[in-house]
Amino acid sequence: MSEGEYDKTLRLDRTGDIFVNDQNDAEVIGGHNAVIVELKILLLTIQGEDPFDETHGLRVFEIAGASDEVLEREVRFALQEDDRVVEVNEVDVSGSEANRTRDVDVTVTLTHGKTVQFGVEME
């Protein structure tokens, strides 16, 4: 699969909201950037929430109140379920358990050999 074969989607910000530029327009993106958006959505979706694919998403009940190590394991597990991800190279969890907000920075290798990095803010 070449990068050009990936679908297009709307750009998201770090919190998972649709990104709106200075002209107040949403931006359409493609290629590996579209895959990054879809992987972010994967990590921000509670497993079982999608009625069309109940295995899609993060096992939220496994990570609620859990350590950074458990969150890292569950993020790796969820990402490895995506056919476009060849390898989960790195998962870095930071932030405060006290306010229940964690920053998760991820590096993955995609099917066409491109290594990409992205981050999500999880509450």
User: Residue ranges of the domains in the chain?
Assistant: 3-122
Inter-residue contact 57 to 49 (CB < 8 Å): yes
User: Does the pLDDT at position 38 exceed 60?
Assistant: yes
Q: Does domain 3-122 have CATH number 3.40.640.10?
A: no
Amino acid at 24: N
Q: Hunting for tokens 């579209």 — which residue is that?
A: 34
Each residue of 84-113: pLDDT tens digit? 999 999 999 998 766 778 899 999 999 989
Inter-residue contact 90 to 101 (CB < 8 Å): no
pLDDT value at residue 63: 86
pTM: 0.83
